[in-house]
Amino acid sequence: MPPRPLGWPTVRIAMVCLGNICRSPMAEAVARAMVEQAGLEGEVTVESFGTAAYHTSEGADPRAEAALRQRGWPVGAHRARRIAPEDVEAADLVLCADRSNVAEVLRIAGPGTDRDKVRLLRCFDPSSTPEDDEVPDPWYGQAREFDAALRLIERSCAGLLEHLGATLPR
Ligand code: 4NP
């Protein structure tokens, strides 16, 4: 499906995973750094959320922070939060790590939501396939699984930035 036209003047992006301590904080950090590198910080905002409240107010998982640092990404302060219907409403794109996140975001948002804006983050990863289009949960894994998730996130965010560069009015 071709991407829908994005909002103007500010494109609001919400990264979503289950706990908002591993995958979506990494996606937020990478996408925000890429937005700044592209000089789009006035035009694109990036936030992150979880679909569950297990870790509300906690910082990012130290393994996620270590993976980010290892690959040279800035690590900012983070407080986990659960996505609310108004967060979905306010976003132009809600980019989810896996399919269960998509289903849960749509359930939380309720009927009347623009379902098309709720997508898998890896829809922007040129190497994704219908059989391999999620960012697997690294929570039960080790540094290796966090690094693997981060690399998928990096490829997806690079594709997202290309998409934004191509669609933002200039
Ligand atoms: P995340 O990872 O969804 O990438 O933040 C998880 C964090 C916590 C849990 C599961 C996944 N948990 O079950 O507490």
Distance from the alpha carbon of residue 138 to the mean position of ligand 1, in angstroms: 8
Rounded CA-CA distance 162/46 in Å is 15
Among 61, 87, 125, 137, the one annotated catalytic: 137
Instruction: State how far the alpha carbon of 31 is from the alpha carbons of 35, 47, 107, 114, 127, in Å.
Output: 6, 9, 25, 23, 18
Those residues whose C-beta lies under 8 Å from the C-beta of residue 72, and which sit 6 or more positions away, are none
Q: CB-based burial of residue 163 (10 Å sphere; 0-12 exposed, 13-18 middle, 19+ buried)? A: middle
Q: What is the pTM of this model?
A: 0.94
3-state secondary structure of 118: strand
* Mean pLDDT on 107-112: 96
Write the DSSP string, 48-88. EEESS-TTTT----HHHHHHHHHTT---------B--HHHH
Does the annotation count 22 as an active-site position? Answer: no
Q: Mind listing the domains of the chain with CATH numbers?
A: 17-164 (3.40.50.2300)
Rounded CA-CA distance 21/55 in Å is 7
Instruction: State how far the alpha carbon of 107 is from the alpha carbons of 18, 37, 40, 78, in Å.
Output: 14, 35, 31, 25
Query: What would the two tokens of residue 170 be?
Result: 């200039």
Distance from the alpha carbon of residue 51 to the mean position of ligand 1, in angstroms: 10
Residue 19 beta carbon below 6 angstroms from any ligand 1 atom: yes
Residue 61 has pLDDT above 50, yes or no: yes
- In which element (H, E) is residue 11 found? strand 11-17
Sign of torsion over alpha carbons 93, 161, 126, 145? negative
Ligand 1 atom nearest 149 alpha carbon: 4
Distance from the alpha carbon of residue 96 to the mean position of ligand 1, in angstroms: 13
Residue 7 has pLDDT above 60, yes or no: no
Distance from the alpha carbon of residue 93 to the mean position of ligand 1, in angstroms: 21
Q: What is the pLDDT of residue 140?
A: 96
Residue 54 beta carbon below 6 angstroms from any ligand 1 atom: yes
Q: What is the pLDDT of residues 128-167, one digit of tens each?
A: 999 999 999 999 999 999 999 999 999 999 999 999 987 7
Does the annotation count 81 as an active-site position? Answer: no
Residue 10 has pLDDT above 70, yes or no: yes
Does the annotation count 23 as an active-site position? Answer: yes
Residue whose CB lies within 8 A of the most ligand 1 atoms, among 20, 54, 120, for a mutation test: 54
What does the mean pLDDT of the chain come to?
Answer: 94
